[in-house]
Structure 1
Amino acid sequence: MTSSQALGLSVPPFTPHAISVSLPTWQDNVDYEEGKPRVKDAMVCGYPRFFIHPSIQKVADICQQKFGTPDELCLLFPSNRVASECRKFIEARSSLVGPAISARLTHFVFPEAELHVVLFPTNAYPIAKQFWQHAGLGISSRLAEFCLSGLAESSTPPKSPEATARFPLKPSNRHYSVKPPAKEELAADKLDSDHSTYLEERYGRNLPREHGMNAKRALRRRIAGVLANDPPECSRAGEQDVATTVSSRGADVTEEDVYLLPSGMAAIWYAHQAALAVRPAAKSVCFGFPYTDTLKILEKWGPGCYHLGRGLDEDIDELETILESTRIVALFTEFPSNPLLRSANLPRLRVLADKHGFLIVIDETIGNFVNVRVQPYADVVVSSLTKVFSGYSNVMGGSLVLNPQGRYYGVLKRWLDDNYEDVYFDQDAIFMERNSRNFRSRSHAINRNAETICDFLLSRSIAGDASSSSTSSRSSASAPVIKEVYYPKYITRHNYETCRITQEGAEESDGKEEGGYGGLFSLTFTTQEASEAFFDAIPCYKGPSLGTNFTLASPYTILAHYAELEWAAQWGVEKGLVRISVGMEDTKVLLEWFEKALLAAEATLQK
């Protein structure tokens, strides 16, 4: 039994809105980063902030033909405010390297939907795509399909032969490449069409607005931790009379403190915008080695940031030195971090924040509020709902949660109430609500699997003294190939335990299980050959993203930092690092998979 998938197909299979794509070998990932045609031409999907979905591409072609000139390209956004931010970004970033490049805004009213179009010269595409990627506020593939279906029901604009050619088939960023649908994608379209038919028959093509509103209310309640239970229908979970309870986040959070965004990066972007707005202008601090786009947001908007890339207790000493001579506006940290699974000393950071008057923004995506309670230490908690909260790898989403006990709660709440826009497409919210109903039980199951696997791998590592293990089934001629198992149970555990929900806390929050250590871990190996052999041999899905119900592996540093491998290495993120997001497969099967991969890695030493 394996879960492997052919190069370029969607992960999981037959998922038209999949957020991951199969890159099954180490060389596939390298060739993807280098833009090799054999990989690019095989891809039918990709992570949405990096890969333009074919449906979005179709709508962009229509807008390009209708509003653009032959030397212009365009990107599509759900509101005029977001489109304006993109235009400002293009002008500001281009002015750093030459004359400012102007962009044009227009909008296209589809039947029952409106898109906002940013048109810019072709040579500005590398800058424009940065906004799409970093801010995570582009339109979703479901919104694009909704627009296309509306056109099909009315009148489709005539196609010009040069319409498609105006938008480059091979744009300068390899992540944004698109291609004609393959057989697998056509099959997936058929499946999605059937599902869309079901939705249309039940609700009509234009889903009732109250259904989307109820789904979003249910999501906000679930994220706030105030739902007394999860009713089977979102129409119930989102209604006013559904039973609620005290927030399991431990900070009197209500659904009114939760803001939904189209992606996790959009939540981080909004949090940074809010921090810049409510506090005097100053740099931020990025504490720990973060997911790549978080650092880009802090660097490219506002005065910039200090990067304390290890995120260890001794880095707080450096932070104190910085604070002696300057002021900061906010500190951003992940709990735990991706991919090194380090947990910051939140109590100590909170003391500094209160003393020096800066905000703390915590990204809880990896830990998630089933396992950890970080709200008391944060002013703002952000999360990518795309990950384990959804689990199904078929919809994007993000959340921003305010701490009502925070020092700056009032000004943050006023700013968000004045500036936040609900641009989360209703149908995406409906899918997210359905996916997340069993979020807690899935999280606990993933916790158990991950802990079992990591204990096994640690026993076969240098740190676990694998060479003296009498229970190991590996060849006695093989030395340990695993150098380090990065997992919150072993890495900065004392800091993680400060926030982990214990049995007493679990009884307060959900009455079921205490928090675990999450489903994500990373491995480093004694040789590059061992890293590659391990990755190629493990028979799980392989592609970008994490937090899926199925096990998903990636050579993280290759995918996220291929153009800056030396820079990543100085923070401990090695080229050969393999990141694993554990799923809900049978534990015995998972152990067999990892045993097989380990044997392949150990065999490289004998060669």
Structure 2
Amino acid sequence: MSLGDPIPAYLPHAISVSLPTWRDNIDYEEGAKRVVDVMQSGYPRFFIALNIQKLASIIAKRFAKPGELCMLFPSAKVAEACRAFMLSQGVQTPIRVLQYAISKPADASAAPIVLHVVVYAEAASSQAKAFWQHTGLGISSRTAEACLARLSDDGAPSPTGTRTRTARYSVKKSAASPPSAKRETEVESGLHTTLIEERYGRNLPASAADNAKRVLRRRIAGVLVQDRSSIDDPDVVALLSDASSQIAPSVRVAGVTEDDVFLLPTGMSAIWTAHQLALATRPSAKSICFGFPYTDTLKILQKWGPGCEFFGHGLDSDLDALETLLAAERTRNPSTPPALALFTEFPSNPLLRSSNLRRLRELADKYDFLIVIDETIGNFANVEVLPYADVVVSSLTKIFSGAVNVMGGSLVLNPRGRHYAALQAHMRETFEDVYWPEDAIYLESNSRNFVRRAHTINQNTEAVCEFLRAHPAVVKDVFYPKYETREHYDACRLREPLVPEWPTGFGGLFSVTFHTLAASRAFFDALPCAKGPSLGTNFTLACPYTILAHYHELQWAAKYGVEEGLVRVSIGLEPVKELLESARVALKAAESAMNAAT
């Protein structure tokens, strides 16, 4: 797979991109022209999809002034939040918000697609992009695809919110086009993927989006126990209906229902929403980030609200320091809780450490703050963290989907939490469903066999980690929940698997470091797998994580054990023999690099 190719290849809505060498990743971070100019896709919060860029360009030509750009959002509330954030970050130039309705040509009965457009001076691009990246609330590439299908470059509706007839945007085809050209056009427009999905019965029709969302919420709540792959199966047909026979007692916390589950466009938007929920329902105070998190989680806690206290190691040794801080804050201001909410990942990314959730819960009850747990890495096929949390968030983009062709996130409230009534009431009153319907349909299809895939990936990953740990002369550390804070992971590991024949495990993600940076580079470059951002994929995917996530703060990350040479690997469904051979090849290259330096 070549530099800049989408991962998976040829998919119009792929959410990763090929960065196959260590040098490619460095040049990507430095904005090198040789990398930037060939990128066809990228992780959507960092790389705005090409069709979104095209749609924004069309809108900007009509409504932006010279020197202005625009960014597209699914609701007025989100657009206003973007404007408020940009102002809070020091933007002093005008920021306008437009409502833009796009009707379907020749079908006045079809509901318009309504976009909310933030128009800003080009000088404020970094602040606008920061909001897009941190919150994950921009429109999806499928939304842009639907909009472009209703537009032409020379005609567009007015920004008044009223329906306006427009010419259909289309690619002119020649009747004499060879088959290869026709196939290329189909892939570019998304028709090929749609036809395949519908022909083989994997996807629901677009009209079933509400059903798909309900099924997703039930699946996440733990009240659906089926694990199917085709809607031709009678059990799946029943599952997609309102049939109460398909609902079992929750395998999560007793009392959890689909009404406690909220779907969001991305995992990061679930984290942002959880933080906004805490800010809206609890007394003002700093948040706490416990453990080294994915980078944007910390940015959210720092840039919105009163700020954040950071305990970057997330080890038991940090718990006493945390309680000392809480006690001091309570003494200073006894009338207000000393913290707003504590955010932690279970396990953490990329060090795969699991926090002592029992102790954190005790502190939260004693000092009256919320706990928000990101379970993405452990995933609820392996662990149950909701009993310790007020809110659980997850990136459904990862192993829950696995297919790397759709984004999604979830927020789950604990019905037994002490602040549940207030949290649920606020969510009922304020929650907006901005998850694009077709994205939900793809996610529902992808996630039907989630538990089965998780089980296979658990086994594969453990085998690869054991192999690497058997070579300490080359490998410095393997970070994996089996080896990192094992007792805390086991405390939350499901005693009974969701499906009896598929036991729980330690997840599909690990990180590895080597004794020299040259060995890390050689291992990564030689590893015969897809290489790019994201994780939880059905195929093995690797990246030089610290380079991608912390290139401009390498020394800061190193203080918390996240070394420059760390390689993060997300294991897939390949045969285990093939995976072990890939690891052997890469390890041999790392060993050669070490020997060459001595």
TM-score, normalised via structure 2 length: 0.89
- SS of 2:350's partner is coil
Residues 533-557 of structure 1, C-alpha deviation per residue, up to 9 Å, x if partnerless?
0000010000000000000000000
1:526 to 508, 515, 531: 515
2:239 to 226, 234, 237: 237
Alignment-derived partner of residue 165 in structure 2: none
Alignment-derived partner of residue 213 in structure 1: 210
- SS of 2:400's partner is coil
Residues 265-290 of structure 1, C-alpha deviation per residue, up to 9 Å, x if partnerless?
00000000001111100000000000
Residues 453-474 of structure 1, C-alpha deviation per residue, up to 9 Å, x if partnerless?
101111112xxxxxxxxxxxxx
Matched, 1:552 2:519: no
2:48 to 46, 52, 70: 52
Matched, 1:354 2:365: yes
Map 1:99-178 to 2 at 5 A: 100-111=92-103, 112-151=112-151, 156-157=155-156
1:432 to 443, 448, 457: 443
Q: CA deviation at 1:485?
A: 0.3
Map 1:18-37 to 2 at 5 A: 18-37=14-33
Residues 482-504 of structure 1, C-alpha deviation per residue, up to 9 Å, x if partnerless?
100000000100110100113xx
Which of 394-403 and 57-66 deviates more?
A: 57-66
Q: Is contact 2:186–2:192 with CA below 8 Å preserved after alignment? A: no
Alignment-derived partner of residue 474 in structure 1: none
Residues 523-573 of structure 1, C-alpha deviation per residue, up to 9 Å, x if partnerless?
011000000000000100000000000000000000000000000000100
Q: CA deviation at 1:202?
A: 12
Query: For the residues of structure 2 that align with 1:513 and 1:198, how far apart are their CA atoms?
Result: 30
Identity of aligned residues (%): 57
Alignment-derived partner of residue 467 in structure 1: none
Query: For the residues of structure 2 that align with 1:297 and 1:418, how far apart are their CA atoms?
Result: 23
- SS of 2:89's partner is helix
Unaligned runs of 5+ in 2: 104-111, 158-180, 330-337
Q: CA deviation at 1:363?
A: 0.2
Alignment-derived partner of residue 86 in structure 2: 90
Map 1:562-601 to 2 at 5 A: 562-601=551-590
Residues 31-69 of structure 1, C-alpha deviation per residue, up to 9 Å, x if partnerless?
111111111111100000011111101110121112110
Alignment-derived partner of residue 72 in structure 1: 68
Q: Is contact 2:346–2:353 with CA below 8 Å preserved after alignment? A: yes
Matched, 1:486 2:484: no
Matched, 1:496 2:489: yes
Q: CA deviation at 1:199?
A: 7.5
Q: Is contact 1:14–1:191 with CA below 8 Å preserved after alignment? A: no
Residues 300-353 of structure 1, C-alpha deviation per residue, up to 9 Å, x if partnerless?
000000010000001111110110122001000000000000000000000000
Q: 1:107 to 1:235 in 2, by over 3 A?
A: farther
- SS of 2:99's partner is strand
Map 1:182-331 to 2 at 5 A: 186=184, 189-190=187-188, 192-197=190-195, 209=207, 211-230=208-227, 232-233=230-231, 236-242=238-244, 243-326=246-329, 327-331=338-342
Letter in 2 for 1:310: H
Query: For the residues of structure 2 that align with 1:245 and 1:201, how far apart are their CA atoms?
Result: 31
Unaligned runs of 5+ in 1: 159-182, 462-479
Query: For the residues of structure 2 that align with 1:54 and 1:557, how far apart are their CA atoms?
Result: 26
Q: Is contact 1:94–1:101 with CA below 8 Å preserved after alignment? A: no
- SS of 1:421's partner is coil
1:516 to 505, 521, 524: 505
Q: Is contact 1:258–1:399 with CA below 8 Å preserved after alignment? A: yes
Q: Is contact 1:91–1:102 with CA below 8 Å preserved after alignment? A: no
Alignment-derived partner of residue 391 in structure 1: 402
Query: For the residues of structure 2 that align with 1:185 and 1:523, how far apart are their CA atoms?
Result: 41
- SS of 1:496's partner is helix
Alignment-derived partner of residue 169 in structure 2: none
Query: For the residues of structure 1 that align with 2:523 and 2:186, how far apart are their CA atoms?
Result: 31
Letter in 1 for 2:483: Y
Query: For the residues of structure 1 that align with 2:350 and 2:33, how far apart are their CA atoms?
Result: 29
- SS of 1:579's partner is strand
Q: CA deviation at 1:578?
A: 0.2
Query: For the residues of structure 2 that align with 1:406 and 1:280, how far apart are their CA atoms?
Result: 17
Residues 337-375 of structure 1, C-alpha deviation per residue, up to 9 Å, x if partnerless?
000000000000000001110000000000000000101
Residues 429-450 of structure 1, C-alpha deviation per residue, up to 9 Å, x if partnerless?
0000000000000000000000
Matched, 1:541 2:533: no
Q: Is contact 1:489–1:517 with CA below 8 Å preserved after alignment? A: yes
Q: Is contact 1:15–1:188 with CA below 8 Å preserved after alignment? A: no
Residues 99-156 of structure 1, C-alpha deviation per residue, up to 9 Å, x if partnerless?
x34310001111221100000111111001100000000000000000111225x984
- SS of 2:399's partner is coil
Letter in 1 for 2:131: F
Residues 501-521 of structure 1, C-alpha deviation per residue, up to 9 Å, x if partnerless?
13xx22xx3333331000000
Letter in 2 for 1:12: P
Q: 1:185 to 1:282 in 2, by over 3 A?
A: farther
Q: Is contact 1:380–1:403 with CA below 8 Å preserved after alignment? A: yes
Map 1:463-474 to 2 at 5 A: none
Alignment-derived partner of residue 605 in structure 1: 594
Query: For the residues of structure 2 that align with 1:419 and 1:236, how far apart are their CA atoms?
Result: 31
Letter in 1 for 2:490: E
Which of 551-560 and 9-18 deviates more?
A: 9-18
Alignment-derived partner of residue 163 in structure 2: none
- SS of 2:190's partner is helix
Query: For the residues of structure 2 that align with 1:311 and 1:575, how far apart are their CA atoms?
Result: 20
Alignment-derived partner of residue 180 in structure 1: none
- SS of 1:373's partner is coil
Query: For the residues of structure 2 that align with 1:394 and 1:188, how far apart are their CA atoms?
Result: 17
- SS of 1:328's partner is coil
Letter in 2 for 1:303: P
Residues 244-281 of structure 1, C-alpha deviation per residue, up to 9 Å, x if partnerless?
11111133211110000000000000000001111100
Q: Is contact 1:90–1:102 with CA below 8 Å preserved after alignment? A: no
- SS of 1:47's partner is coil
Query: For the residues of structure 2 that align with 1:554 and 1:228, how far apart are their CA atoms?
Result: 34
Matched, 1:334 2:330: no
- SS of 1:389's partner is helix
Alignment-derived partner of residue 561 in structure 1: 550
Query: For the residues of structure 2 that align with 1:11 and 1:456, how far apart are their CA atoms?
Result: 27
Residues 386-411 of structure 1, C-alpha deviation per residue, up to 9 Å, x if partnerless?
00000000000000000000011100
Q: 1:239 to 1:513 in 2, by over 3 A?
A: same
Query: For the residues of structure 2 that align with 1:184 and 1:275, how far apart are their CA atoms?
Result: 51
Matched, 1:446 2:457: yes
Q: Is contact 2:253–2:414 with CA below 8 Å preserved after alignment? A: no
Query: For the residues of structure 1 that align with 2:389 and 2:200, how far apart are their CA atoms?
Result: 42
Letter in 2 for 1:53: A
Query: For the residues of structure 2 that align with 1:594 and 1:407, how far apart are their CA atoms?
Result: 47
Q: CA deviation at 1:241?
A: 0.9
Q: CA deviation at 1:420?
A: 0.9
Alignment-derived partner of residue 107 in structure 2: none
The RMSD of aligned alpha carbons is 2.1
Letter in 1 for 2:242: Q
Letter in 1 for 2:575: D
TM-score, normalised via structure 1 length: 0.87
Query: For the residues of structure 2 that align with 1:564 and 1:458, how far apart are their CA atoms?
Result: 28
